Amino acid sequence: MGLDITVLAVDWERLAATPFDERLGLLEDASLPEEELDRDAEPRCGWVFPAAANVPWCGRYEFHSTTGSYKPHFWAGQAWEDVRDHADPVLREHLDGFLGPLLQDEDATGLFPADPDPWRPKLLLVCPPPAVSALARRWARAEPLLESLREPYAVHAACPGRWIEDFDEFSVLLREWAVVVGEAERRGWGLLGLPL
């Protein structure tokens, strides 16, 4: 069993107003609400608002092609590292600024109590609302240039059998992240990625 990621859009003010010791528990409820524990149900895709009845200030994004696994996100980051030196410099600058905060483990110091379990992974994504707005601006500049990456990607990053095999899969995942960022930015909310 590998690492999973659950991406939440969060009203940062409501999160800050929530008692410190209750925050993580509420977000875990939003990640896997009891009303959705039916194992026979079809998986949901896209945004779910509210994420759970008891957390109306939080939405959950279900990626279409990743089945919740963090591996495709990791491999998208690796593919970007493989091809970034061959990208148009303007695209490189803006995709670095877009992907960097999304695909790196983040420190949530001050948001939640310290976790006594040393085996539990830390949050995978922490983007307060100003950071989300910055990501949206980066994507707006990168997206029109993304197709120029197709040929360099085929030469330097394509890898049959990997979670992100080719440019089309890479592009689909980036565009899903753009949907995530766009909705959070539209609401003026932040983003969190929980390892659940």
Compute the 3-state secondary structure of the chain and give helix, strand, coil in percent, each to the nearest 5.
50, 15, 35
Q: What band does 11 get if pLDDT is binned at 50, 70 and 90?
A: very high
Q: Residue 34: its pLDDT value, please? A: 64
Residue 41 has pLDDT above 80, yes or no: no
Here the tokens at position 104 are 């790196």
CB atoms within 10 A of CB 104: 11
Q: What letter does residue 108 receive in the DSSP assignment? A: -
d(CA 91, CA 168): 17
pLDDT at 1: 46
Q: What is the pLDDT of residue 101?
A: 87
Spatial contact of 70 and 2, defined as CB atoms under 8 Å apart: yes
User: Would the pLDDT of 159 be above 50?
Assistant: yes
pLDDT band at 40 (very low <50, low <70, confident <90, very high): low
pLDDT digits (tens, 9 = 90+) for 70-86: 899 999 999 999 999 99
